[in-house]
């Protein structure tokens, strides 16, 4: 199942993230692909806002993993695997599996660098394209029926 959504500003992307957040659940895994500056982290900010996470979500590029614990809601785990490109499988097993299949929402930028830790066919995959200055295309696709409601809900965004 797939849907394409276009946003015309940073704010619209944040609103899109906020919109899907209400349909997320413990163990949800979102993978994000797309060029640097496409809007992957901006979309994460919207999801975190919707999950009522107070901390400012920014790029974890230098951290690999940032955990946003949420006392009254879903925890949000933000992974940016960009710096794991040339790291061997043994050395990158820093407990990512436990986080990815854990109790919160896991949001993974650059999933191809940690694909061995991501369960197949249990993810909502999001591809972001830069169309013009402030215009972005988000393509949501999944084989897992747990996410179908999200895609249905996005029709008409
Ligand atoms: P990524 O994490 O994919 O590298 P970021 O979210 O960090 O990208 O950065 C996206 C940049 O593009 C920000 O500077 C943001 O202001 C800008 N931008 C412009 N238009 C949009 C849009 N429609 N959606 C998201 N970001 C946008
Ligand atoms: Mg980013």
- Which region, left, alpha or beta, applies to residue 89 given φ > 0 means left and ψ of -120 to 50 means alpha? alpha
Q: Are 130 and 38 in contact (CB under 8 A)?
A: yes
Q: Any idea which residue has 């993810």 for tokens? A: 123
Q: Cα–chain-centroid distance for residue 73?
A: 17
**Ligand 1 center from residue 38 Cα (angstroms):** 5
CATH 3.30.1370.60 holds for 2-154: no
* pTM recorded for the entire structure: 0.95
Q: What residues in the chain have per-residue pLDDT under 70?
A: 60-61
Distance (Å, whole) CA 100 – CA 23: 18
pLDDT of residue 58: 85
Q: Are 28 and 125 in contact (CB under 8 A)?
A: no
Q: Cα–chain-centroid distance for residue 50?
A: 13
Specify the residue with its C-alpha closest to ligand 1, atom 27: 10
Q: What is the pLDDT of residues 80-107, one digit of tens each?
A: 999 898 888 888 888 898 999 899 999 9
pLDDT of residue 61: 61
Specify the residue with its C-alpha closest to ligand 1, atom 7: 41
């Amino acid at each position: 199942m797939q849907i394409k959504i276009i946003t015309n500003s940073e704010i619209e992307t944040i609103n899109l993230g906020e919109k899907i957040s209400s349909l997320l659940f413990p163990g949800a895994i979102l993978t994000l692909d797309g060029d640097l500056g496409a809007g992957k982290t901006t979309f994460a900010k919207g999801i975190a806002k919707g999950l009522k996470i107070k901390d400012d979500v920014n790029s974890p590029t230098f951290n690999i993993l940032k955990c946003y614990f949420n006392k009254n809601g879903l925890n949000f785990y933000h992974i940016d695997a960009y710096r794991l490109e040339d790291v061997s499988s043994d050395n990158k097993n820093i407990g990512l599996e436990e986080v990815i299949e854990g109790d919160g929402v896991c949001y993974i930028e650059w999933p191809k660098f940690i694909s061995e830790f991501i369960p197949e066919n249990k993810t909502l995959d999001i591809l972001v394209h830069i169309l013009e200055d402030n215009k972005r295309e988000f393509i949501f696709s999944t084989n897992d029926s747990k996410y179908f409601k999200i895609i249905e809900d996005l029709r008409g965004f």
